[in-house]
Structure 1
Amino acid sequence: MSHVALPFRLHLRIPWTALVLWCVCATTAPAEIRVAPWRAAFQGVELADGTADAAEPRIQRVFAARIQLDSPGLKFFSTPRAGTLETLGETASTFLNKHRLQLAINANFYEPVSNTPVDINLEGLAISERTVVSPPSPGLPALCLTEDNHARFVENTPANFPTAGIATAIAGSRIILRDGRPIARSSTPDDVHPRTAVGLSHDGRVLIWLVIDGRQPGYSLGASVEETALWLARLGAHSGLMLDGGGSTTLVRADRDGRATLLNRPIHKNSPGRERLNGNHLGLRAAPLPTAVPSDK
């Protein structure tokens, strides 16, 4: 009987082994991160988007701009002083349309958050067209740009921080990427939000704008501080600064008619696609792409 039963046992053993291997592979599949190729939007400006699946460790939708700072015709512009405090709240789309910009992203933390335009106090340094809108704040880092688009991060802006020669500046909460590596920070399960950050390449010639959508199950859940830094590094940044996030996270561009169109899907008051009236934005003017010359053939 043994010579009859043996083939039967082998027959069972083979598919069982295959099933075990399939289960192991299925449960240990690597996380998948995808970044689309950069595509030209304006002269000196490229756009890209990316995704992460649930093993990364959560679903994420990412949108970014890559700005070649030495490209001719680029001019940065941030929210100017207005109102009785420092600025007036407005959406990124309103900011872009009002000032005829090509690209805009939310910037400084601020208060109060409101559904109507109100007077705003910004947190940290803000400079618009060489005018100080919000004074330096000890402990808060900033992105500073000169008139000829030389950019640098300043890790601390004390009250006596020299602002001469700075044409545009925005402030964030912390430096999150240094020398191409995330700066270790304690993170809790609740530290996952929509995020906005900016980064600089190693040679300082490329500025990266990054937004990560969040608080939208099935679409994008958000990112931790470390995950945000890793995204900056993937996109080519060597150093990076965290800006205001949450419901403020917004990235907009001008369409062919010059009108603002959302690149990401912001969420304000739990309403996907609804923009918040932010206290400060960083904007960019850029020349259109060259028009193709029709061939005579």
Structure 2
Amino acid sequence: MKQQHHKRYRKLSLAILIATLLPLILYAMLAFQRPPRVELSQTLFAGITYQRQIRNTPRAIVIHIVHVDLTAPGIRVIVSPSVDDRPANPTGPSRETIAQTTTEFLSTAQLQIATNGSFFYPFEEKSPWSYSPHSGDRTHVLGQTIASGIPYASPQDDWYPLCILAPQRVLISSQTACPENTEFAVSGLPLLLSDGQVALPEDFGRNALESYARLVAATNATGTELWLVAVDGKQPFYSEGMTLPEVIELLQSLGATDALNLDGGGSTTLVQATPNGSKVLNAPIHTKFPMRERPVANHLGIYAQPLE
């Protein structure tokens, strides 16, 4: 009896040990897939360059910067469309889009660059196995959103849009609605820069001063240049993120005059098309696991021509 009891105890102890170590082993395996903490600068497509910046003070930070020359031939910026005009629940709020990861969107639309886009709901993250939305779930975006000239989410107070007016021009509006004839739009908050001046409200909230994973869109004064900046976060010793004042300082150093904070945190994802398939340029962290992409409500996408 004692031997049987001892064997059962050993099996139970081994099962507990495996259950404890498995998430740590998985985390370590995924952590090794993150982009190296090495600075990099390269041209990805005609009119599109990429930089990876590394900082060690005031904390570990990895920054990914995509610069788009909108005057380059073949450049086109889009926002993912709505699924249709019917709510998922006829008696509840409208849910205009179907959640996808950024890689799924890039592959489906055959884009060259893609990022996540709007803030959205519903969202829940309880554990690596319990979260929403999953890919294919219906979702609702916040702030004015337009795809191919068709609005599918209305303007809201304090939500500012990135307006794609034509293939060669974008505008980050200080109003909550884009000009007429806007082709595509996605909204965020807060507004960070407007006409070269800092626009971040002093009373925006604690989040502004927290080190956090960020996704930001910025433009120059003429709207002919677009920057998409992804800051990795939530990953001690690799990248702990940036505060919004730090992001504003970075954008000003790049030459941006207007900038908007888009959905960040675990949604922050930047993906590139390559001849061998999609490549995640940053280190997203969904459900606390690095390199795991979060399904989100909509995306920004860029078409571009290959390098000669």
Same fold, TM-score > 0.5, yes or no: yes
Structure 2 match to 1:71: 72
The 1-side partners of 2:221 and 2:178 are apart by 24
Any gaps of 5 or more consecutive residues in structure 1?
1-33, 291-297
2:133·2:139 contact (CA, 8 Å) conserved in 1?
A: no
Q: One-letter code of the match for 1:69?
A: L
Alignment of 1:42-121 (within 5 A): 42-53=45-56, 55=57, 57-82=58-83, 84=88, 85-113=95-123, 114-116=132-134, 117-121=136-140
Q: One-letter code of the match for 1:170?
A: V
The question of 1:233 aligning with 2:255 is answered: no
State the Cα RMSD in Å. Answer: 2.1
Q: Secondary structure at the match of 1:275?
A: coil
CA deviation after TM superposition for structure 1 residue 146, in Å: 1.8
CA deviation after TM superposition for structure 1 residue 82, in Å: 1.2
Larger Rg over CA atoms: 1
The 1-side partners of 2:40 and 2:290 are apart by 26
CA deviation after TM superposition for structure 1 residue 188, in Å: 4.2
Between 109-118 and 94-103, the greater mean CA deviation after superposition: 109-118
The 1-side partners of 2:250 and 2:41 are apart by 15
CA deviation after TM superposition for structure 1 residue 234, in Å: 2.4
Q: One-letter code of the match for 1:138?
A: D
Between 273-282 and 113-122, the greater mean CA deviation after superposition: 113-122
The question of 1:202 aligning with 2:218 is answered: no
Q: Percent identity?
A: 30
Structure 2 match to 1:23: none
Task: Compute the TM-score of the two structures, normalised by the length of structure 1.
Answer: 0.79
Alignment of 1:124-143 (within 5 A): 124-143=143-162
Q: Secondary structure at the match of 2:293?
A: coil
Alignment of 1:8-47 (within 5 A): 36=39, 38-47=41-50
Structure 1 match to 2:16: none
CA deviation after TM superposition for structure 1 residue 37, in Å: 6.5
Structure 2 match to 1:218: 237
The 2-side partners of 1:171 and 1:163 are apart by 14
The 1-side partners of 2:158 and 2:212 are apart by 22
CA deviation after TM superposition for structure 1 residue 66, in Å: 0.4
CA deviation after TM superposition for structure 1 residue 36, in Å: 4.9
Any gaps of 5 or more consecutive residues in structure 2?
1-36, 89-94, 124-131
Task: Decide whether aligned partners of structure 1 residues 178 and 155 sit closer, same or farther in structure 2, where only a CA change above 3 A counts.
Answer: closer
Task: Compute the TM-score of the two structures, normalised by the length of structure 2.
Answer: 0.76
The question of 1:167 aligning with 2:186 is answered: no
1:89·1:278 contact (CA, 8 Å) conserved in 2?
A: yes
1:3-59 Cα deviation digits (max 9, x unpaired): xxxxxxxxxxxxxxxxxxxxxxxxxxxxxxx99564211111111111111x3x221
The 1-side partners of 2:238 and 2:38 are apart by 16
Q: Secondary structure at the match of 2:106?
A: helix
Q: Secondary structure at the match of 2:228?
A: strand
